[in-house]
Amino acid sequence: MADEIRSPGKYLQEAIEEHGWTQTEFAEIVGRPGRLVSEIIAEKRGITPDTAVAFAAALNTTPDYWMNLDSAYQLSKADPAGDRINRKARLHKRFPVREMSKRGWIKAASSDDDLEQAVLKFFGIASVDDPIVFDHAARRNYGTELSTIQEAWLMRVFKLASALNVPKYSESMLHAALGQLEVLMTEPEEIRHVPRILAECGVRFVIVEPIPGSKIDGVCFWLDKNRSPVIGLSFKGGDQIDRFWFNLRHEIEHVLRGDGRNAAIIDDFDDALASESEAEKAANFAAADFCVPHKRMDDFIARHHPIYTNQALIGFSRLMKRHPGIIAGQLQKRLDRWDLFKKFQAKVRHIITQTALTDGYGRTISIEL
């Protein structure tokens, strides 16, 4: 390209010769050092606004004429990386490339081409513009399309869940397992048994740290031609004990109902629109009733409202065989009192990530999964 576009020095030399001037004479006319004129002609110096104005006045042209000549020439010499940069920009605009690299979801790349291929391989597509295809349609529960950040998180859950070996799913065993899970709700440490109990029922359970802005608390979908359910949690909203049990039971209800077979169920408990569908209402009711049976909670509120004491909370939690933090969480939601009994809401992420297949939160899973 540089050979096709002439330098402004070439045009200057021709213009000087046409007027019958020498370089020294022209330099005197425009009031510039002779060295400046010779260096422009030798392509060692560019055109500045001041010199463009001077040349235009002497040669009966315009300053823009000389500035445009210089700009075109400088651009012609620039590294022809426009296409490469455009491809890279499109890749980063569509996909959370930086987060994927930081989390080890894609291999370290030595070139832009290698990086692009790693991202495309992760999503199973041939080009940046190709649609991402899951085994089932992936939409938020009220029908809106997923963002590519959400698609990346969901794809990671899909890959990790696919790597788990579990027996054939049994709906009857999962129903029975609810009793086993309920026994674990007295102490935070007991949560470590959850992945094993779910796996014995044929449910694949994984935890993937959320990408900022992903707006996903959990997901339910099915693998192996709708025969193997998957539950994925993110701890986006926090890792309090009450949140964990509510979110988990919510996703289990989706599995028991057979939700997620035709389209992945994406849950964001901070979004009011997400609770409008029949499936979400059923899952929310089952999850809340599992944490604290509705009738028992109604009775507790009726007896103690509006004054709730630590003693009353602890006594009720013992009666219900629940950790006080689980009771506290349900009270907060029922009463819209989010400051109530917060000190009882124990953190559990550090416990469950010891036994569940976890990606993130200080843990990196092999890219080959």
**What is the pLDDT confidence band of residue 109, given thresholds at 50, 70 and 90?**
confident
Q: Which residue ranges form the domains of the chain, and what is each CATH number?
A: 8-77 (1.10.260.40), 85-123 (no CATH), 137-359 (no CATH)
- pLDDT-based confidence at residue 2 (cuts at 50, 70, 90): very low
Question: Which ranges constitute the DSSP H helices of the chain?
Answer: 8-18, 23-30, 34-41, 49-59, 63-77, 82-94, 97-102, 112-123, 148-163, 171-183, 194-200, 241-257, 278-291, 294-304, 310-320, 324-335, 349-352
Flag whether pLDDT at 367 surpasses 70: no
Which of 43-47, 225-229, 319-323 reaches the highest mean pLDDT?
A: 319-323
- Under the banding of pLDDT at 50, 70 and 90, the label for residue 110 is confident
CA atoms within 13 A on the CB side of 317: 23
- Residue 347 pairs with which residues in a beta bridge? 240
Which structure tokens are listed for 338? 């989010």
d(CA 263, CA 141): 9
pLDDT tens-place string over residues 66-84: 999 999 998 888 766 677 8
Q: How far apart are CA 288 and CA 26, in angstroms?
A: 89
pLDDT digits (tens, 9 = 90+) for 328-346: 999 999 999 999 999 999 9
* C-alpha distances out from residue 194 to 12, 69, 204, 221, 249, Å: 81, 72, 11, 19, 11
Write down the pLDDT at residue 302.
96
Residue 141 C-beta-side C-alpha neighbours within 13 Å: 29
| Averaged confidence pLDDT in the chain | 92
Supply the pTM of this predicted model: 0.80
Q: Please give the Cα distance from 119 to 26 (Å, whole number).
A: 58
For residue 368, the model assigns a pLDDT of 59
Segment 52-61 mean pLDDT: 96
pLDDT of residue 142: 47
* Torsion angle of C-alpha atoms 258, 259, 260, 265, degrees rounded to 10: -150
- The residue-averaged pLDDT of 162-186 equals 97
- Please tell me the predicted confidence (pLDDT) of residue 275: 62
Average pLDDT estimate for 292-308: 96
Q: Which whole number is the average pLDDT over 247-252? A: 98
Residues 6+ apart with CB under 8 A from 155: 122, 123, 132, 134
Amino acid at 241: I
Total residue length of the chain: 369
- Above 90 in pLDDT, residue 85? no
212 preceded by cis ω (within 30°)? Answer: no
